[in-house]
């Protein structure tokens, strides 16, 4: 696995993985994402709702959505208006090293419950500033200067400072949409009972509804099948357990998988590496001691800044 993390080698710094995309396209049906790093999503145009965990955010051009690596998320579209957005995904383990005791660059991503506080509505002044930062990041990425990595990392730090200040200064006035009571109850139940039997038959009995109706309603309101949602929630929780040092077999059982080979296969397909590789990453455990975070899952467990995958 390529090592993108912060290293000191002969006095030289190796820079982190940063993925940046500025895309304008027709609308499409996206699956839920479970990203390797922290993500900043900025809407330029489009008629969009944004799902994060069990929340639906109504977003307008100029709004930000921020997610950490344990939050499943996806955009969905209310019309065929051209969808233009900027997405920046970055390695949190690198940028955490530039935090100070008085200012944590990653606070807006981790010091909250998952699915809460993801939407940021910028002031007109902040919007102008962030657009300029994105433009400068694009120019740095296209540059062939030897300093391009330094420039890009410095601009991401500046961007993180802006976002944290915007979060601190804004009231919680997020406009959320709503799912039906059934789908909301099912999502909450899944999050609180990942270790238990979440088969369609079990959910039918728990909610007194036919499996066919439940599957149709869930897919219509969330854009993902019920089975895929459960698997991604379980993998998200498995990442938290592994980052806390749990064994692979304990993680498999605690996150609701009954078969080790299926767990390893599902984890690698979604995360990109095996559970053992993810668990062995020393940066995960270094950050465990560095930063205590707010309760990060419906299961009321403590999480930390996870490493890139």
- For residues 59 and 49, is the Cβ–Cβ distance under 8 A? yes
Rounded to 10 degrees, what is the CA torsion of 124, 130, 135, 140?
A: 160
The pLDDT of residue 283 is 57
Of the CA atoms within 13 Å of residue 208, those in its CB half-sphere come to 0
Tens digit of pLDDT for each residue in 40-65? Answer: 999 999 998 899 988 889 999 999 99
Among residues 129, 135, 159, the alpha carbon closest in space to that of 62 is found at 129
**∠ at Cα 246 (107, 227), nearest 5°?**
80
Distance in angstroms (rounded) separating the CA atoms of residues 247 and 295: 21
Report the top-level CATH class of 7-169: mainly beta
The pLDDT of residue 108 is 94
The pLDDT of residue 287 is 47
Report the top-level CATH class of 181-290: mainly alpha
Domain assignments of the chain as residue spans, ordered by start: 7-169, 181-290
Distance in angstroms (rounded) separating the CA atoms of residues 90 and 74: 18
Element (H, E) at 186: helix 181-192
The pLDDT of residue 297 is 37
The pLDDT of residue 177 is 54
Tens digit of pLDDT for each residue in 181-193? Answer: 888 889 889 988 9
- 142 DSSP assignment: H
Listed as ranges, residues in the chain with pLDDT below 70 are 1-15, 29, 170-179, 282-309
The pLDDT of residue 176 is 53
The pLDDT of residue 148 is 87
């Amino acid at each position: 696995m390529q090592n993108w993390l912060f290293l000191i080698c002969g006095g030289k710094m190796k820079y982190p993985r940063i993925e940046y995309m500025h895309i304008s396209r027709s609308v499409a049906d996206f699956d839920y994402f479970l990203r390797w790093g922290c993500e900043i999503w900025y809407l330029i145009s489009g008629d969009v709702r944004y799902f994060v965990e069990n929340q639906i955010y109504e977003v307008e051009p100029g709004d930000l959505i921020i997610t950490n690596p344990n939050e499943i998320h996806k955009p969905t579209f209310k019309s065929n208006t051209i969808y233009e957005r900027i997405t920046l995904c970055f390695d949190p383990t690198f940028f955490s090293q530039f935090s100070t005791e008085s200012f944590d660059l990653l606070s807006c991503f981790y010091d909250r419950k998952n699915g809460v506080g993801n939407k940021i509505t910028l002031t007109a002044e902040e919007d102008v500033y962030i657009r300029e930062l994105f433009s400068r990041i694009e120019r740095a990425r296209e540059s062939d200067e030897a300093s391009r990595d330094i420039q890009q990392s410095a601009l991401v730090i500046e961007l993180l400072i802006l976002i944290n200040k915007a979060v601190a200064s804004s009231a919680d006035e997020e406009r959320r949409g709503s799912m039906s009571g059934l789908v909301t109850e099912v999502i909450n139940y899944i999050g609180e009972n990942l270790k238990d039997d979440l088969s369609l038959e079990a959910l039918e009995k728990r909610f007194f509804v036919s499996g066919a109706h439940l599957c149709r309603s869930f897919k219509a309101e969330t854009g993902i099948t019920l089975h895929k949602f459960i698997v991604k929630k379980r993998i998200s929780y498995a990442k938290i357990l592994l980052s806390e040092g749990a064994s692979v077999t304990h993680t498999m059982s605690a996150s609701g998988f009954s078969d080790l080979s299926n767990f390893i296969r599902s984890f690698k397909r979604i995360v990109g590496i095996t559970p053992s590789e993810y668990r062995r990453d020393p940066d995960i455990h270094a950050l465990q001691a560095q930063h205590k975070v707010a309760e990060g899952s419906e299961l009321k467990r403590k999480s930390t800044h996870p490493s890139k995958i």
